[in-house]
Amino acid sequence: MVADHASRKVFIKSVKFILRNYSLDGIDLDWEFPAIHNYRSIVKKRERQHFSQLLREIRMEYNREKRNYLLTVAVAAPKIIVDSAYDVDQINMYVDYANIMTYDFHYFTDFTPFTGLNSPLYARATEQLYMATLNINYTVHMYIDKGLDRSKIVVGIPTYGHSFKLFNANNGNVGSPALGYGNLGQLGFVNYPDICHFMKTHKIDVNVHFDVDARVPYLHRDHEWASFDNPQSVMNKAEYIKENNLGGAMIYSLNADDYEGRCIGLSGSLKFPLAESINNTLNGNNTS
């Protein structure tokens, strides 16, 4: 679609049709990722330029029609992707907000067969070099250094976690060897209510830790290990957003939060405890 002006024009026309006929606020472009077609194939550098051109042409069309539609983008967090996929100065010029996907920093793969934190706020003291870049704080300042206005940075906060199957049930630290996905969740993705249910079911022998460096929790019991977020960790992230004068928070996703009240007793008395904690912190309504 982005390869030439004619096809981009067709796409923009369809965007305008949808926005107008459904009275929507705008469009969020989530392309994972321009110029990168999985990590082992050829990098198509011109897609990076074409993506910037698409943003420019959408913005120009909004301006031409005197519309105040939003134009936002969902963008990667790891530097290795950002360096190849985006002209950050062009993104800054044309979008209203950049929703940074600051999660999935660590999950089980054949190349990363060890436990890790899904969405750490800061690097852990023992992390160095590349591993020390896989956190929200590094990502935010990387984008700022590349020319993205603070006011346009929207930090992604997950309501899900990642589970792992420990190689050794007695070694439940961050970075411990893992055999695969845990039993919790599906293919390693575990919703917050399932985390709560696991902690309630195994409250006698589940080990729950809060990493003081990364400011996120994790748990383990026997061979089961999971990284997740809770009301305290998402409040820490919301406070970070305020302290750094960033644009706001993006939650991924509402259906992975506790919308049925399964976490009541562990996370206060509210449904959607993670979304509520973020909202209350950002708006100065926190009473905890």
Q: Which active-site residues does the annotation give?
A: 32
Is the separation of the CB atoms in 206 and 199 below 8 Å?
yes
Token pair for 250: 């993006």
User: Which residues face 250 on adjacent strands?
Assistant: 156
Cross-strand partners of 249: 155
| CB hemisphere CA count around 39 (13 angstroms) | 5
Q: Which two tokens stand for residue 206?
A: 């589940």
Q: Which residues contact 30 (CB under 8 A, 6 or more apart)?
A: 73, 74
Which of 53-81 are b and which e, b meaning 16 or more Cβ less than 10 Å from the residue's Cβ? bbbebbbebbeeeeeebebbbbbbbbbeb
